[in-house]
Amino acid sequence: MRRARSLPFVVVALVALAAACGSTTSVAARVGDDEVSQDDLTTAVGVYRSIFAGQQGVCGLPEPGVELDTAACDRAVLGDLVLTQLAEGYATDHGVAVSDAEVEETVSSLEERYGTDELRRELDRNGVTREDLAELVRRSLVQQAVVSAVTADRLGESELRARYEERLTDLSTIEVDHILVESEAEANDVYEAVTQPGFSRADFKDLAREVSTDPGVAENGGTYGPEAAATFDPDFAAGALALEPGEISRPVESGFGWHVIRLESKDVPEFDEVRDQIVQDESPTVFADWLRELLDTVTVDVNPRLGRWDDQTFTIVRVGSTDPSADASVTPGLPAGG
């Protein structure tokens, strides 16, 4: 009766960035009229490496046999720096900002997760400071806020509500008792029996054990949940969600046979409760489309010794690479295109 549930795509929080400091050293990239200096990149790489050390991860994946780990890390981090710079304009124009309290809360949570002393040692080892980390966090939080703001703005409230209605099955939780039989005629007989006056839930479960063909009925008496409605057959879930607690459905056909469903409970969230979740789930596609449109008007030039910018994957790729999308899954930043 249950079907596999697709995991929502989930957007990964951007971890990057040091503040532009007006350095006179070489330029790593130009984003429109703005520059990302080599000092910016060096600082950001130091923060990245400190965080990846705590996660026992790696900063970028090198192309085997053709480049060093450091080059792959530089490309991955620079890609995030470019993306953040692209989003900064929107943040400025639309007043998107985060509070000092939000920044400090996030930094403190990182210290708690990795250990304050251990994180400080990694920052020291990589030549960066807690202040560099805090600036990274600030711009990371702004980045996330821009993603949400762009997505909500482009979809609009009416479209967000429409997508809420479309996804009610994914968002709702149900607990049900049910009896599964092979034919509609049998299901009608079951329905007549369980809707007789005084027929209790215990009686329903006893009848389920007696006549239901559900393989799990011996153990659970035909009861499932509370579980996400989307884990069930779509027709079964729709039949259950149409009920109020305590109500019993007329026979419902699914891919497994014919059901008579008794709804014990359901949790259907209000739109305002899940609006932010819907925005987050829709953001990979919507924000990527916005980025592509922005890149029609903004030129990104990367120092050739570091690579070249790819407008389709939103990453820095190695000059000479035969697969421009090879590093799209490596950069821990914004959603890749495609």
Dist. CA 217–CA 233, nearest whole Å: 17
pLDDT at 320: 66
Paired residues of 317 in beta bridges? 308
Q: Are 288 and 314 in contact (CB under 8 A)?
A: yes
Angle made by CA atoms 84, 86, 87, in degrees to the nearest 5:
65
Query: What separation, in Å, do the N-terminal and C-terminal C-alpha atoms of the chain show?
Result: 34
The H or E element containing residue 178 is strand 173-181
pLDDT at 67: 78
Judged against a pLDDT cut of 50, whether residue 146 lies above it is answered with yes
Dist. CA 306–CA 322, nearest whole Å: 16
Tokens for 242, please give them: 């149409």
Q: How confident is the model at residue 53 (pLDDT cuts 50, 70, 90)?
A: confident
pLDDT tens per residue across span 89-124: 899 999 999 999 999 999 999 999 999 999 999 999
Q: What is the mean pLDDT of the chain?
A: 86
Decide: pTM greater than 0.85.
no
Judged against a pLDDT cut of 50, whether residue 336 lies above it is answered with no
The H or E element containing residue 220 is helix 217-220
Q: Are 269 and 134 in contact (CB under 8 A)?
A: no
- For residue 247, which amino acid is it? E
pLDDT at 154: 97
pLDDT at 95: 95
CB atoms within 10 A of CB 13: 13
- For residue 164, which amino acid is it? Y
